[in-house]
């Protein structure tokens, strides 16, 4: 049995299954339960007349009403409004994740994976009073139907034909064109250094190194703004700057090999894209087999060949301590990145940065920010908040 973080497990559910789980929690609260049971979720699946469980019951000539009556848990008298997941429910979701990933080739847990996992191990989750009804369902027919509904499974793409890039990345250049990025000030030197590195033929992968809060992500957004405005050399014009979302990439990837499969899919799509793509990897040390994420041990070996051949251009970001701990220990990987040092701005620079952001916050919150308040925020935070960095703490 794999152990998957509960938050990641919930993120691995598709939209409809998440709603079913939310309804199960509400049903548990209504009956005064302290734990969300397998029966609570099954009752939610039954409430969908066009759902897979309802159709499977019809196919097996099982009365849905009879199953619903058998699923009704006994009433409880618990005053807590925050029930927890029952152990059997968590185990069911984990097994469904395995079925979805390894058997159905799905990137998310859908109703089919839930039902198949339940039918494969009915003694593990199902109550004895309704097991005979579930035993009448044909698991193989259900699996064939689920596979027929997933024509993209064999290609390795997520369900529905959605590409790995659209699923696991965010387009910074498109956000810049749409006016969704904040202005970036006092970082021209670091942005120019990144542009110089990206324009090289070899060792053209900058890694922004600085303490937490100094604005590592902000300078990458500043580069996206320049690309969107055409204020870059010809070699970078028309480039799309995508941010790799490690949370999405790792969610539900505790199954051995799943993380590497997703990452390889992203790399392959970057290489095959009609427009040149630069991939931004924030907290890059978590992708290089560090950070304790299950299944991430071979990520560096996937990146190195593509980086060496110039097929993949990246901008990485991490702190000095993580860079020394993980990157410098792997000389082959360190050679492919050029560090860009990002220091904490001075108080005067922090004031300039805040003045540039003030109109954005004024519009967002419907307030007026006085200039002396902006200056005081920078000066007082620099004086009294010793554990954090400007401009974040201001």
Residues 231-254 pLDDT 10s: 999 999 989 999 998 877 877 665
In angstroms, rounded to a whole number, what is the distance separating the alpha carbons of residues 127 and 69? 13
CB-based contacts of 222, cutoff 8 Å, min separation 6: 184, 187, 191
Q: How confident is the model at residue 160 (pLDDT cuts 50, 70, 90)?
A: very low
For residue 153, the tally of other CB atoms under 10 A from its CB is: 17
In the predicted model, what is the mean pLDDT of residues 20-34?
86
- What secondary structure letter does DSSP report for 287? G
- What secondary structure letter does DSSP report for 119? H
> At residue 1, does pLDDT exceed 70?
no
In angstroms, rounded to a whole number, what is the distance separating the alpha carbons of residues 126 and 132? 10
| Contact criterion met (CB below 8 Å) for 119 and 168 | no
Residues facing residue 301 across a β-bridge: none
Domain boundaries, the chain: 6-152, 164-341, 347-384
| Contact criterion met (CB below 8 Å) for 97 and 14 | no
For residue 371, the tally of other CB atoms under 10 A from its CB is: 11
φ, ψ at 205 (rounded to 5°): -120, 100
> At residue 290, does pLDDT exceed 50?
no
CB-based contacts of 325, cutoff 8 Å, min separation 6: 285, 290
> At residue 125, does pLDDT exceed 50?
yes
Whether the full predicted model's pTM is greater than 0.85, yes or no, is no
In angstroms, rounded to a whole number, what is the distance separating the alpha carbons of residues 316 and 303? 12
Q: What is the pLDDT of residue 74?
A: 65
In angstroms, rounded to a whole number, what is the distance separating the alpha carbons of residues 152 and 154? 6
Q: How confident is the model at residue 52 (pLDDT cuts 50, 70, 90)?
A: confident
CATH homologous superfamily of domain 6-152? Clp, N-terminal domain (1.10.1780.10)
Q: How confident is the model at residue 289 (pLDDT cuts 50, 70, 90)?
A: low
| Contact criterion met (CB below 8 Å) for 204 and 313 | yes
In angstroms, rounded to a whole number, what is the distance separating the alpha carbons of residues 224 and 217? 11
Domain 164-341 fold: Rossmann fold (3.40.50)
């Amino acid at each position: 049995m794999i152990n998957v973080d509960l938050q990641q497990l919930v993120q691995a559910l598709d939209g409809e299954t998440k709603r079913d789980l939310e309804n199960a929690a509400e049903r548990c609260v209504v009956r005064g339960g302290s734990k969300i049971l397998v029966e609570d979720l099954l009752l939610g699946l039954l409430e969908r007349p066009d759902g897979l469980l309802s159709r499977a019951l019809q196919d097996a000539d099982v009365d849905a009403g009879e199953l619903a009556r058998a699923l009704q848990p006994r009433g409880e008298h618990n005053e807590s409004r925050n029930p927890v997941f029952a152990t059997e429910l968590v185990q069911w979701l984990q097994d469904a994740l395995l079925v979805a990933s390894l058997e159905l080739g799905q990137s998310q847990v859908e109703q089919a994976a839930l039902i198949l996992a339940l039918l494969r191990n009915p003694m593990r989750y199902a109550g004895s009073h309704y097991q005979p009804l579930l035993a009448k369902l044909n698991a193989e027919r259900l699996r064939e139907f689920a596979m027929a509904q997933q024509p993209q499974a064999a290609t390795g793409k997520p369900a529905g034909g959605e590409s790995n890039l659209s699923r696991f990345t965010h387009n910074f250049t498109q956000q810049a064109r749409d006016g969704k990025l904040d202005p970036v000030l006092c970082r021209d030197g670091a942005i120019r250094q990144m542009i110089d590195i990206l324009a090289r033929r070899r060792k053209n992968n900058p890694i922004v190194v600085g303490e937490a809060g100094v604005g590592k992500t902000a300078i990458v957004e500043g580069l996206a703004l320049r690309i969107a405005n055409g204020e870059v050399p010809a070699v970078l014009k028309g480039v799309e700057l995508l941010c790799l979302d490690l949370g999405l990439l790792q969610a539900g990837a505790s199954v051995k090999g799943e993380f590497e499969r997703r990452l390889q899919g992203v790399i392959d799509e970057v290489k095959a894209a009609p427009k040149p793509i630069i991939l931004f990897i924030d907290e890059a040390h978590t992708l290089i087999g560090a950070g304790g994420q299950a299944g991430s041990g071979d990520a560096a070996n996937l990146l190195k060949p593509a980086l060496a051949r110039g097929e993949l251009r990246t901008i990485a970001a991490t702190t000095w301590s993580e860079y020394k701990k993980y990157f410098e220990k792997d000389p082959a990987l360190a050679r492919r990145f050029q560090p860009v040092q990002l220091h904490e701005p001075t108080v005067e620079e922090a004031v300039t940065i805040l003045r540039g952001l003030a109109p954005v916050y004024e519009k967002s919150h419907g307030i007026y920010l006085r200039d002396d308040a902006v200056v005081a925020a920078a000066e007082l935070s620099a004086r009294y908040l010793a554990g954090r960095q400007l401009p974040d703490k201001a």
